[in-house]
Amino acid sequence: MGDSSAMDLPDLANLTVDNRYDVVRSIGEECVQEDELRALLQSGRTDLSAYDGFEPSGRMHIAQGILKAINVNKLTKCGFTFKFWVADFFAKLNNKMGGDMEKIRVVGRYFVEIWKAAGMDMTNVEMLWTSDVINAQPEKYWTLVMDIATRFNLSRVKRCCTIMGREDSDDMLASQILYPCMQAADIFFLNVDVCQLGMDQRKVNMLARDYSSLPEIKKKVLTFSRTKFCKTLCECNVDLFWRILLA
């Protein structure tokens, strides 16, 4: 299964910069600094990378399954390596699955298998579990998180908490205040060129963008924000989704 606009693309060697730009740009409702995207594609680099993170937190809906497979296939067809940040640490911070890490990891593995069934080409896709990767390089990661946390005030960080489905007026755990700083740090820790998240994640995208604009931060980041799929439509089509996957 896949989107014909991605599946019918010629080999990367036969794609022009304009072809690649049009395909990559089609993924997001908003792209901060489109000129930077074009310059990135014109650079001739062969190590381009994009990132998205997901919190293993329950049953997958149609947008997470089919549309994610379509978008990832578009990016990899255009020469990107796609890094999935399987955010088990984040799910625990956000008290998903009752904070039970074993259950969270089961849900994470389930997400991966659904994407395979939905037609995602895994050739240039890396599945990175946050707990494994962070624990392997704790000093690098937590130094970055702390640096981001010292650059922005509490009010700015709390406004980003909508990324967790929370409001800044909610009575939150201290762990949930840390969450936006960690999510912003992920982009730089993974050293990716493109951050491809939903519009509901826009506030933390802009936090990361502002951090990357500091003179001493050498890594600049492109942020794509895609429309969050209609929840009602997702719920109405969930049975159809499962029939497709099980066919």
Q: Which domains does the chain have, with CATH numbers?
A: 4-10+47-246 (3.40.50.620)
Extract the runs of DSSP E, i.e. beta strands, from 45-121: 49-54, 81-86
Tell me if residue 16 falls in helix, strand or coil: coil
pLDDT reported for residue 241: 42
Nearest-CA neighbor of 46 among 90, 8, 81? 81
90, 37 Cβ separation under 8 angstroms? no
pLDDT reported for residue 163: 61
Extract the runs of DSSP E, i.e. beta strands, from the chain: 30-31, 49-54, 81-86, 125-129, 194-198, 222-226
pLDDT reported for residue 4: 44
pLDDT reported for residue 204: 85
pLDDT in single tens digits along all 247 residues of the chain = 444 445 565 566 678 999 999 999 888 777 877 888 999 999 999 999 999 988 898 888 787 788 889 999 999 999 999 999 999 998 998 888 998 999 999 999 999 999 999 999 999 999 999 999 999 999 999 999 999 999 999 989 888 876 655 555 567 777 778 888 998 999 999 999 988 877 777 888 889 889 988 988 877 778 776 654 444 444 444 444 444 444 4
Question: What are phi and psi for residue 146, nearest 5 degrees?
Answer: -65, -35
For residue 205, what is the enclosing H or E element? helix 202-212
Task: Spell out the residues 6+ positions from residue 40 whose beta carbon is closer than 8 angstroms to its own.
Answer: 48, 193, 194, 222
Q: Is 160 exposed, middle or buried (0-12, 13-18, 19+ CB in 10 A)?
A: buried
- Both tokens assigned to 182: 């960690």
Residue type, 75: L
- Both tokens assigned to 149: 């946390």
CA distance 93 to 97: 11
The residues pairing with 224 across neighbouring beta strands, listed in sequence order, are: 31, 196
pLDDT reported for residue 230: 42
Angle CA 70–75–81, to nearest 5 = 120
